[in-house]
Structure 1
Amino acid sequence: MKADAGRRYRLYPTEGQAERLTGWGHTCRWLYNTALEQRQFVWRQRKTTLGVTAQCAHLTEARKDFDWVADLPAQSGQQVLRNLDQAYRNWWNPQHPAGAPTCKRKSARLSVPFPGQAIEVRRLNRRWGVVSLPKVGEVKFRWSRRLGGAVRNAVVSFDGVAWHVGFGIHTGVTTPEAHARPDTVVGVDRGVKVALAMSDGRMWNRTFTTPGQERKLARLKSTAGRQETARRKHGATTSNRARKIRAQVARAEAKVRNRRRDFVMWAANRLCAQHAVVKIERLDIQAMTATAKGTNEKPGTKVRQKAGLNRAILDKGWGLFHTALDNKARTTGTRIARVPAAYTSLRCSRCRYTDRDNRESQAVFRCGSCGYEANADVNAAINVRDAAEVASPLTGRAVRDRNRKASCRPPTQRRPRTALETGVSRR
């Protein structure tokens, strides 16, 4: 039985448990990066693909040589290697939009995976439950919703604010053959001023920070930047005060991410429950949010304006909303249709006249031919609803990646350190 749903809960480890889980998170990151470099090194040297079975054997040897590797549960280390192998399979799959696996940064979220047979979940009362983890024991978590199925795996993670445990659940729920309201179609336009505008006139928007919180976060980032500049200038180690400032930045950013995730999940649930077909624009968000600074030889233009637009796009969670729609549609039978995005903001939804002058401002649309006037985002959503669906679900960047890697070879990056059995420190 495979996991077909996820459940995420707030975890409350003790101080000693949190310290050990933090060490395991760094070990898992080191293991993933080293295994990735090992596979790339073997391909460059021998033109062969190193499988997960051989890497698990290398992991066993590394556990004999290094105590900090042996402290990580063997099941978690093997799960990390299986995750890397799955990342390669996704990259090799022409129908999957994933790109080549990349190294995990030290600033990334700490996470420790566990297979289902290595853990045990037990409910204490209406509000609390415990999960039994190898070498750690029972850890309490907030029972905020029922599991609804059999636990197949778990991931313990730290996002800069708190610890969480996510369970992969087999619910047995299948996608309905038809939606409960089969004749309902809605177009959705994603914007930077208004997050979501629907073709029926509804507009959903939410701010994730107050002006005071934005000023505080900007001040913390400025302080962290000055500290890092001074540290590099003098060749010093990171001070305790600098670590505290970084922790404050991480906590503030994690709160914003949680509010954004809550909004997009809320919107996706309602759209999929109310409509059989949801049409959205097919956008290459990664290319849209690329920097415009250029190079020293050919510097870009309007770099600050482009950076502001990039932040506005990322703040609204366009890509996260797309993922939330796909996940929710599996349980409601909703079909997510992707349509071409060209000229949806400039075309009149009534007479189809297209002209740049139709868009008078960010909020006002007035047709120069028939005089139709409406909210610009709602007019674009109507055009999205009436547009024809495109055939390929892949984004433009993913299609270019597929064309470039004809032989499915790993990307050529910097020379790896060595194989798993080397004594490279995880710090």
Structure 2
Amino acid sequence: MYPAHDQADRMTGWGHTCRWLYNTALEQRQFAWQQRKATLGVTAQCAYLTEARKDFDWVADLPAQSGQQVLRNLDQAYRNWWNPQHSAGAPTRKRKSARLSVPFPGQAIAVRRLNRRWGVVSLPKVGGVKFRWSRPLGGSVRNAVVSFDGVAWHVGFGIHAGVTTPEAHAQLDRVVGVDRGVKVALAMSDGRMWNRTFTTPGQERQLARLKSKAGRQETARRRRGARTSNRARKIRAEIARAEAKVRNRRRDFVMWAANRLCHQYAVVKIERLDIQAMTATAKGSITEPGRSVRQKAGLNRAILDKGWGLFHTALDNKARATGTRIGRVPAAYTSWRCSRCGYTDRDNRDSQAVFRCGSCGYEANADVNAAINVRDAAEAASPLTGRAVRDRNRKASCRPPTQRRPNTALETGISRLF
């Protein structure tokens, strides 16, 4: 999307207001439960939002429909957390460094097409904004989200296309196992391997140089007790643009892969992994320091760089349109087990790429052998991740987790909203 300078400035302020509103509403819910054992709903919080709009001009500048949609999103996050069959965890605060976004309901916007490549969306209090028409809408517009990723503005439309999930996939007998790795992103049981690098060596060096420079500026600023300079803001903007390019390439790859797998296969099986636990830090504590901390940090970066969790989400989203069933199987010993004779031993895997069975002598690519084991394994009884299984009893109680008390500024805002 290509807003004018004043339009971009106003929407940037709205993005920060939406983040503040989400965090304050979350603190209000936690405060109400801890102090009064009361559960607030979206209806009550919308009434408090109306009162806040009377007291704060910067809150009143945000379109009322957008503020109400932010509260509905928080309410949906709580419902997902309370649902024992949903894998979502407890709602958390939005960071200042997160992607800015402003939601709009469908009745608050109007979309008009100019030609084959360009369109105009009319937003409340902003007016018409040109955007690149990247694909046909294919239905009636129900909502829109305007976001800024550090590089450019984007607008995404939620469309009611009248399409339902097919009861069965066209290829009923086609099943594939997918192994996610750190050297090769995706390996399939049919022998195919898909991989893509999202940065060049030159871009990695440039990003490392920018981060080092930003760290020196931040250290100097803290020593002097000064405010952030314009030069430091420019460096941060360059870092944000470089990281946004990497994210866009990763998102393009996982959606490309999910689209092809869901169209070609009736069942796609993947390992059930607790990625949050797998990428946890190994630093430990002062009394019990961790071991191989730098090696574990490198492994964590490699896992997150390949987009394992994003690929899982893309599969689930695409499967709703194709009728593909996503199977989740236990991940234990899939890399050590021989797909031909079933002999399991850690020495079977000679290296990251070579698998050689110590019993029957079968040799294959290690990732492809693991993908075949994933394809042939029985699906797990529970569709939830390990983290969700651990939190299931806590979810069923509908009680928020114990968290810190709100700070003084937020308590003041909460008391005014109460």
TM-score w.r.t. the length of structure 2 is 0.97
Classify the secondary structure of the residue corresponding to 2:20: helix
Map Cα deviations across residues 251-285 of structure 1 (whole Å, 9 max, x no partner).
Answer: 11110000000000000011111111111111111
Q: Residue 151 of structure 1 contacts residue 167 of structure 1 at CA under 8 Å; is this kept in 2?
A: yes
1:206 is aligned to 2:196: yes
1:56 is aligned to 2:46: yes
The structure 2 residue matched to 1:418, chosen from 396, 403, 411, is 411
Distance in 2 of aligned mates of 1:388 and 1:395: 16
1:283 is aligned to 2:273: yes
The structure 1 residue matched to 2:76, chosen from 48, 71, 86, is 86
Classify the secondary structure of the residue corresponding to 1:253: helix
Q: Which residue of 1 aligns with 2:234?
A: 244
The structure 1 residue matched to 2:318, chosen from 315, 323, 328, is 328
Within a 5 Å distance, the mapping from 1:174-213 to structure 2 comes to 174-213=164-203
Alpha-carbon RMSD across the aligned residues, in angstroms, is 1.3
State the percentage of identical aligned residues. 88
Structure 1 runs (4+) deviating above 6 angstroms are: 421-424
Within a 5 Å distance, the mapping from 1:301-320 to structure 2 comes to 301-320=291-310
Match for 1:133: what amino acid? L
Map Cα deviations across residues 71-113 of structure 1 (whole Å, 9 max, x no partner).
Answer: 1111111111111111111111111111111111111110111
Relative distance call for 1:67 and 1:422 in structure 2 (3 A) is: farther
Classify the secondary structure of the residue corresponding to 2:88: coil
Q: Residue 176 of structure 2 contacts residue 269 of structure 2 at CA under 8 Å; is this kept in 1?
A: yes
Distance in 1 of aligned mates of 2:392 and 2:220: 43
Within a 5 Å distance, the mapping from 1:227-306 to structure 2 comes to 227-306=217-296
Q: Which residue of 1 aligns with 2:362?
A: 372
Match for 1:418: what amino acid? E
Corresponding pairs, count: 414
Superposition deviation, residue 50 in structure 1: 1.2
Superposition deviation, residue 412 in structure 1: 2.3
Distance in 1 of aligned mates of 2:197 and 2:92: 32
1:395 is aligned to 2:388: no
The structure 2 residue matched to 1:171, chosen from 161, 185, 192, is 161
Q: Residue 3 of structure 2 contacts residue 130 of structure 2 at CA under 8 Å; is this kept in 1?
A: yes
Q: Residue 81 of structure 2 contacts residue 395 of structure 2 at CA under 8 Å; is this kept in 1?
A: no
Superposition deviation, residue 52 in structure 1: 1.3
Match for 1:337: what amino acid? G
Distance in 1 of aligned mates of 2:118 and 2:322: 30
Match for 1:69: what amino acid? V
Q: Residue 156 of structure 1 contacts residue 163 of structure 1 at CA under 8 Å; is this kept in 2?
A: yes
**Which range moved further: 154-163 or 51-60?**
51-60
The structure 2 residue matched to 1:74, chosen from 64, 78, 82, is 64
Superposition deviation, residue 406 in structure 1: 4.8
1:36 is aligned to 2:26: yes
Classify the secondary structure of the residue corresponding to 1:298: coil
Q: Residue 260 of structure 1 contacts residue 316 of structure 1 at CA under 8 Å; is this kept in 2?
A: yes
Map Cα deviations across residues 361-391 of structure 1 (whole Å, 9 max, x no partner).
Answer: 0001111111110100011111111100112
More helix by share: 2
Classify the secondary structure of the residue corresponding to 2:268: strand
Q: Residue 17 of structure 1 contacts residue 136 of structure 1 at CA under 8 Å; is this kept in 2?
A: yes
Relative distance call for 1:422 and 1:16 in structure 2 (3 A) is: farther
Match for 2:279: what amino acid? T
Classify the secondary structure of the residue corresponding to 1:22: helix
Within a 5 Å distance, the mapping from 1:87-106 to structure 2 comes to 87-106=77-96
Classify the secondary structure of the residue corresponding to 1:305: helix
1:409 is aligned to 2:399: yes
Match for 2:411: what amino acid? T
Superposition deviation, residue 64 in structure 1: 1.1
Q: Note the residue ranges of structure 1 that are not aligned, 5 or more in a row.
A: 1-10
1:19 is aligned to 2:12: no
Match for 1:340: what amino acid? P
Classify the secondary structure of the residue corresponding to 1:319: helix
1:121 is aligned to 2:139: no
Q: Residue 83 of structure 2 contacts residue 395 of structure 2 at CA under 8 Å; is this kept in 1?
A: no
Superposition deviation, residue 229 in structure 1: 2.1
TM-score w.r.t. the length of structure 1 is 0.95
Match for 1:184: what amino acid? R
Q: Residue 178 of structure 2 contacts residue 187 of structure 2 at CA under 8 Å; is this kept in 1?
A: yes
Match for 1:42: what amino acid? A
Classify the secondary structure of the residue corresponding to 1:418: helix
Q: Which residue of 2 aligns with 1:5?
A: none
Superposition deviation, residue 39 in structure 1: 1.0
Q: Residue 141 of structure 2 contacts residue 159 of structure 2 at CA under 8 Å; is this kept in 1?
A: yes
Distance in 2 of aligned mates of 1:348 and 1:415: 53
Distance in 2 of aligned mates of 1:299 and 1:149: 56
Distance in 1 of aligned mates of 2:349 and 2:402: 45
Relative distance call for 1:358 and 1:398 in structure 2 (3 A) is: same
**Which range moved further: 397-406 or 276-285?**
397-406
Distance in 2 of aligned mates of 1:412 and 1:193: 39
Greater relative contact order (Cα < 8 A, sep 6+)? 1
Q: Residue 62 of structure 1 contacts residue 421 of structure 1 at CA under 8 Å; is this kept in 2?
A: no
Distance in 2 of aligned mates of 1:423 and 1:129: 42
Distance in 2 of aligned mates of 1:281 and 1:419: 47
1:136 is aligned to 2:126: yes
